[in-house]
Structure 1
Amino acid sequence: MIRGMRGAITIEKDEPQIIWDETVKLVQAIVAENNVQPDDIASIIISTTPDITSAFPARSVRMLEGWEYVPVMCMHEMNVADALPLCVRVMIHVETTLSQRDITHVYLNDAVKLRPDLITKNV
């Protein structure tokens, strides 16, 4: 079964190295929490709020050893008033036997505000 594993992280400022480092931190936390390997991943969609423009976060995922064949795409989120700024969101589509209830979604930094109902433990 293909399931979605979600996560989000906020960054301190729109700088390429910060974007790449925080995106990797988030993706690695999601896969670690759910015991996922790159070969289990069908695809990854990464979105950013419109205030992130200095780098493609997908680049950092593609640069991970063993991840070069994982399809990754970036896009911007809708520009909604009062949305959480400087936020990177990730949706990883994974082949898994986990039920929806057993998937651990990961929210880091100020992104914990997005889905406090899914925060069950600190990553």
Structure 2
Amino acid sequence: MGWKVRAIRGATTVSENSVEAIREAVHELLDELEAHNFLDPDDIISVTFSVTRDLDAVFPAAIARERACWANVPLFDVQQMHVEGSLPRCIRFLIHINTLDPNLKIHHPYLRQARGLRPDWVLAQTSPRSKSRL
């Protein structure tokens, strides 16, 4: 069996458009990602962060690059398409990884008010289970 590309999604919200609030939220989101997935940065193909139009104080990718072992991960920031009535002050990510396990269980972290974006995943992931190795 060979390598397979898988995707991990996640999102969070911030209380305000400030460097400090965005840094805290991005670190919390990536901490949750790494705690539940044992993510090896060498297996990451790329990470795209999107932010809603009300967040412009700092690039989430710049914050991710501060993390140990993430300096060489391809990171990219984009602005999320605005839809009237959508969740404000939201940061999302889409991560593509290589894995040898095509049936790998992936934890998709949705935190703070972003939990409402994917309540089906949040409920499924609240039950205790073993951590997956990517």
Question: TM-score, with normalisation over the residues of structure 2?
Answer: 0.85
2:60 to 50, 57, 62: 57
Preserved contact between residue 6 and residue 30 of structure 1 (Cα < 8 Å): no
Match of 1:99 in 2: 103
Which TM-score applies when normalising by structure 1? 0.92
Change (3 A) 1:98 1:29: farther
Structure 1 residues 10, 98: CA separation in 2 closer, same or farther (over 3 Å shift)? farther
> Is 1:21–1:60's contact at 8 Å kept on the other side of the alignment?
no
Cα distance in 1 for residues equivalent to 2:6 and 2:103: 8
Q: Which residue of 2 aligns with 1:121?
A: 126
| Matched residue SS, 1:20 | helix
Q: Contact 1:6–1:105 at 8 Å: present in 2 too?
A: yes
Q: Which runs of 5+ in 2 are unaligned?
A: 128-134
- Percent identity reads 35
Q: Which amino acid aligns with 1:99?
A: N
User: Gapped runs of 5+ residues in structure 1?
Assistant: none
Report the RMSD for the aligned CA atoms in angstroms: 1.4
C-alpha separation between the residues in 1 aligned to 2:25 and 2:103?
27
CA deviation string 1:67-90 (max 9, x = no partner): 100000001101100000000001
Name the structure 2 match of 1:21. Answer: 24
Tell me the equivalent position of 2:34: 31
